[in-house]
Amino acid sequence: MRFSQLLLGLIVLAGNPLLAQGPYDQAFNPDVPAPDGFRTNRTSYSAIMDVLAAERPQVSEEQLDQLRDVPLEVIFSAIGDYRLNYVTGFATTRPGERLVGRALTMRFLPARPDLVRAANVLAAEGNWDRRYYARAAEEAQPGDVVVAELGGSDGHNLFGDMGAIGIKLRGANGVVVDGGMRDLTGLQDDRFAGFPVLHRFTDPHTTLWLGVEYNAPVKIGGVTVLPGDIVVGDEGGVFFFPPDLLEPVLEYAAETEAREAFQLQQLENKQYRFRDIYPLSPELQQEFERTQR
């Protein structure tokens, strides 16, 4: 309920122009059956992603590297309606390390006997490991960040240090788990430099929940994360936004950095009132722009 308020204006009015009035007893088209082998696709099927896939560009390693130094407050100001797509409350295994990459998402559900049977069948047919962290240790790509919906603070563990080393060896940049992990001491080892794991809790138990969707939309904290989203953050909080916003963010960041440096210098000069500098008064704005030429 909380963070979505700002979206109200944008969304509610969108309307649905094509709906014509119809009868109470409607006849609907029958469901289209799934083709053979479809159920063991490596990327789980999502109707939402089927619609959105076309509008989501690939981003480069260079772009991700540039993002690594942009303050979160600058990103906040640059991503428009996605600025509420922000999640807090994580602990990290690497204090002070920024996590940047592309979301490789996983959705987990609590175990029950029939769900376990089904997950075993799919794993056998699809030639993957039922443990989704083990799948990531075999399938993740460089620059990926594993993003796992796992029940939050009331949830379950994703993995321990052995699973983490497997994922890191594939070139992934880290993990955001809305749930727990084990082997905290192991994951704080220098071996894991550059591979922060943001998590809700740690405990020594093994994983029981079951991965049911791989690279499909998930809920992390109170926001939606789509596969391929840009992930950027640290233990203070994490933003998730669509890849087409990455370039505008980088441009905005360059401009902001220059202006804030100018403002800081003005503050230290103690010549003008605070309110004339932050934000810049028209006169100081002009002076700033002169310095930028």
Are the beta carbons of 137 and 160 closer than 8 angstroms?
Answer: no
**CB of residue 6 to its own copies, shortest distance in Å:** 5
**Residue among 235, 221, 213, 209 at smallest CA distance from 84:** 221
Which two structure tokens, joined as six digits, stand for 18? Answer: 């094509």
Site for its own copies contains 41 (CB under 8 A): yes
Residues 6+ apart with CB under 8 A from 72: 232, 233, 234, 236, 237, 239
With CB under 8 A as the contact rule, the residue among 65, 73, 189, 255 that binds its own copies is 73
- The neighbour count for residue 92, using CB atoms within 10 Å, is 20
Smallest gap from residue 173 Cβ to its own copies (A): 18
Q: How far is Cα 174 from Cα 192, in angstroms, rounded to an integer?
A: 9
Residue 251 Cβ, how far from its own copies at the closest point, in Å? 19
Nearer to its own copies, 75 or 100 (CB): 75
By beta-carbon proximity to its own copies, the closer residue of 87 and 145 is: 87
Site for its own copies in 244-283 (CB under 8 A): 260, 263-264, 267-268, 270-276, 278, 281, 283
Q: Which two tokens mark 248? A: 């505008």
Residues from 53 through 72 that contact its own copies (CB under 8 A): 55, 71-72
Binding residues with its own copies: total (CB under 8 A): 131
Minimum CB distance to its own copies, residue 190 (Å): 14
Residue written as tokens 């640290």? 234
Residues 84-113 that bind its own copies (CB under 8 A): 84-86, 88, 109-113
Taking the least distance from each CB to its own copies, the nearer of 144 and 183 is 183
Residues 125 to 144: which contact its own copies by CB under 8 A? 127, 129-130, 134, 137-139
Cα–Cα dist 198/186, whole Å: 15
- Rounded distance between C-alpha atoms, residue 244 and residue 72, angstroms: 18
For its own copies, the binding residues in 193-222 under the rule CB under 8 A are: 201-206, 208-209, 212, 217, 219, 222
Whose Cβ is closer to its own copies: residue 285's or residue 291's? 285
Cβ neighbours of 19 (radius 10 Å):
7
